[in-house]
Amino acid sequence: MASEKVETVIAGNYLEMEREEGDSKSAKGKLSKLFWHGGSVYDAWFSCASNQVAQVLLTLPYSFSQLGMLSGILFQLFYGLMGSWTAYLISVLYVEYRTRKEREKVDFRNHVIQWFEVLDGLLGKHWRNVGLFFNCTFLLFGSVIQLIACASNIYYINDNLDKRTWTYIFGACCATTVFIPSFHNYRIWSFLGLMMTTYTAWYLTIASLLHGQVEGVKHSGPAKIVLYFTGATNILYTFGGHAVTVEIMHAMWKPQKFKLIYLIATLYVLTLTLPSASAVYWAFGDMLLTHSNALSLLPKTGFRDAAVILMLIHQFITFGFACTPLYFVWEKFIRVHDTKSLFKRAIARLPVVIPIWFLAIIFPFFGPINSTVGSLLVSFTVYIIPALAHMVTFASASARENAVERPPSFLGGWAGSYTMNIFVVVWVFVVGFGFGGWASMLNFIRQVDTFGLFTKCYQCPPHKA
């Protein structure tokens, strides 16, 4: 009887979404539909894949130099699968929360559901507070990293200005993302973003193979345990881009179709990250230990300049991906989230950009900051908390019996699901947060000691600094 009720609610939910989709087709112009309004499975896939591999593509060869080739490849495959599993858990919890609320006749048409609200609705305010803290802090530093990457990349085309000055300029440019209402409106940007990273990944691969190995190349990784865990944690960060899963799902017309989207996106991303990181590391070896941005080692050509420009545009898009959930939280805090005026919401969002700008100027350590954020924030935000939340939500027999989405039978049902969740929690806490946090903080402190806070030009050649 309970399962019939659930099916009725979901069917009603689907029909309502399809009606909204149809209305938008009749009301909006064709151009608006094509570029602005995206809620399909394909839009969600482009959003996930585009958001997952951004500037981190340029730092993965650096991680390979810390880990060695074999460990680098294995960690990418391992964390890619683990990230897909926890993204699936987040999607299950979202559908569970939304279905329960819609049974209570709650209307979400003018409200974007976020991860902390899912935790609040399913598990209470303490879970909400923890989820809100980790999610917001991670997305804040995720936005900071995109800004640092913009300055790091443009420097390879124009070194007349130092990286700090470029950070000021790109901070102003990225502030324009306040005018993009939600993930529903990232249709063309997600598509273009993925095309840009695809070009850059294959440029890195082909350019490195054509360049060949540098004279006397050495591949000594893994040489130090600190560097090993720092590199592993950067890969943990790479496949931890699903902190915006709930917002992407909410932008879909049929959110329950999200289940496998993140896994398929991850498989595509691996076709970009594995060849590019392997090829660059093969060509340059240990030189990457002091060159965290792979573009810095390749000769200046039109193809490299194109890669830099495309990555800059993509980093602008990814800044928007990371910052949009922060905009939503801020809007809800100051009570303007329900207003229909786009201009009012945009003005209200501007204060969110200021601390991001400031932090990017204080900590311009492109590469090491990824590992630090990965170990201290990503580990909890998108691995440990979703796995624990899923276990606690379905701890009772009645909750499992009435679950909207049951675990796949080929993984062993509920027993298999709990086994995987426990493994994720223990592994990420010990290896990601524990060893990874220790190693990445040591490396980060070393960067501060070497270059100082507010450094004008991180890892720039001495005569140009």
Question: Residue 303 CB: number of other CB atoms within 10 A?
Answer: 14
Distance CA 122, CA 391 (A): 12
Is pLDDT above 50 for 178?
Answer: yes
Predicted local distance difference test score (pLDDT) of residue 35: 59
Question: pLDDT-derived band of residue 31, with 50, 70 and 90 as boundaries?
Answer: low
Integer Cα distance of 234 and 295 in angstroms = 18
d(CA 184, CA 38): 5
Q: Do residues 167 and 147 touch, judged by C-beta distance below 8 A?
A: yes
What one-character DSSP code corresponds to residue 457? S
Q: pLDDT for 312-351, tens place per residue? A: 888 888 888 889 889 999 998 998 888 878 888 889 999 9
Mean residue pLDDT of the chain comes to 84
Res 111: pLDDT: 82
Using one digit for the tens of pLDDT, what is the confidence trace for 212-242? 999 888 988 788 888 898 888 889 888 887 8
* Dist CA 404 CA 256 (whole Å): 10
pLDDT at residue 8, rounded to an integer? 37
Q: At what angle do helices 41-52 and 261-284 cross, to 10 degrees?
A: 30
What CA–CA distance (Å, rounded) separates 460 from 162? 9
Task: Please state, in angstroms and rounded to a whole number, the distance separating the CA atoms of residues 314 and 170.
Answer: 13
Tokens of 372: 């630090």
Residue with tokens 């099916």: 7
Lowest-pLDDT range of 15-29, 57-71, 339-353, 435-449:
15-29
Whether the ω angle into residue 222 lies within 30 degrees of 0, i.e. cis, is yes
pLDDT at residue 40 is higher than 70: yes
Cα radius of gyration rounded to whole Å, the chain = 22
Element (H, E) at 224: none
The distance of Cα 254 from the centroid of its chain, to the nearest Å, equals 22
Distance (Å, rounded) from C-alpha 64 to C-alpha 207?
Answer: 17
Tell me the backbone φ, ψ of residue 40, rounded to 5 degrees.
Answer: -85, 175
Q: Please compute the mean of the pLDDT values over residues 175-196 and round it to a whole number.
A: 85
Query: Which residue in 212, 211, 197 sits closest to 307, CA to CA?
Result: 197
DSSP symbol at 178: G
DSSP state of 225: H
Among the listed ranges 67-71, 230-234, 280-284, which one has the minimum average pLDDT value? 230-234
Confidence at residue 462, expressed as pLDDT on a 0 to 100 scale: 59
pLDDT at 444: 77
Structure confidence by residue, pLDDT tens digits, 139-160: 888 888 888 888 877 877 777 7
How crowded is residue 388: how many other Cβ atoms within 10 Å of its Cβ?
19
17 closest CA partner among 255, 262, 181, 244: 255
User: Could you give the 3-state DSSP secondary structure of residue 193?
Assistant: helix
pLDDT at residue 290 greater than cutoff 80: yes
* The pLDDT of residue 446: 78
Confidence of residue 400 (pLDDT cuts 50, 70, 90): very high
How far apart are the C-alpha atoms of 368 and 459, rounded to whole Å? 12
Give the rounded distance of the alpha carbon of 403 from its chain centre.
28
Bigger pLDDT: 10 vs 140: 140
> For residue 143, what pLDDT is reported?
87
* DSSP 3-state of 419: helix
CA distance 73 to 53: 16
Beta carbons within 8 Å of 318's beta carbon, 6+ residues apart: 50, 51, 54, 55, 146, 193
Residue 63 CB coordination number (10 Å): 32
Closest CA to 360 of 55, 58, 57, 141: 141
- The encoded tokens of residue 406 equal 């049951």
Cβ atoms of 76 and 270 closer than 8 Å? yes
pLDDT, tens digit, for every residue of 440-455?
Answer: 888 778 777 666 665 6
Contact 234, 436 (CB under 8 A): no
Residue 439, pLDDT above cutoff 70: yes
Residue 308, both tokens: 């830099």
Pair of tokens at residue 425: 């929690």
For the stretch 361-371, what's the b/e string if a residue is b when 16 or more beta carbons lie within 10 angstroms of its beta carbon?
bebbbbbbbbb
